[in-house]
Amino acid sequence: MSFPDPLNGINTPLDQNSPILFKQNLELVQREVVRVQSLAQEVLSGIGGAYCAGMEPMNTKRSIGDLKQAIDSLTSLLRSTGIGALPLLPSPPPPTSAFSESGIPQQQEVQPVPTEAQLLAYANESVKSLYDSLKRKQDSAAVVANLLQQVSVNVGAQGSAFAGGPRPRVASGNMGVGGR
């Protein structure tokens, strides 16, 4: 990416780590996110009104295709600009009334930006939690697999006991009426 140099009018390449390029990339990503949100809302309203008279399923299908393309575009944009590597901070709460009952302006509580150490601790905690969850699922799956293996071995042993000898008789529903 290059921009005209105000001193000599020549396009000069912009440093990939410059704050100007970072701000431009952020604005570009924000516009793309708004576009994805708009398309998602369009798809949801199309799905919600699927059985209403006058709704065209092809419009919803087209909207879904557009949404998929927009998501792919946003993903590649996040990847190529490096914005996708930034941590997501919780969004601020919606603004409440700016004035108290006495008419004095209230201060909005601003959430502090977490430090790198806090982000690292949160990431480690999240990874440990996911690992523990996966480990429990694997252990449960191993228990189920062992139980199924024991059942199949027992069924196989019973089946081989009957293989050479006569099969047991199955009682019919009218045994008490006519006898044998």
pTM flag (> 0.75): no
- DSSP 8-state symbol, 171: P
Q: What is the pLDDT along the chain (180 residues), one digit of tens a residue?
A: 444 444 445 555 667 778 899 899 999 999 999 999 999 999 999 998 888 888 888 999 999 999 999 999 999 999 999 888 887 776 666 666 555 566 565 666 667 778 889 888 988 999 999 999 999 999 999 999 999 998 888 877 776 555 555 555 555 555 555 554
Q: Is 92 left (phi over 0), alpha (psi -120 to 50) or beta?
A: beta
Domain residue ranges in the chain? 1-86, 117-160
- DSSP 8-state symbol, 13: E
**Considering only CA atoms, which of 96, 76, 94, 92 is closest in space to residue 84?**
76
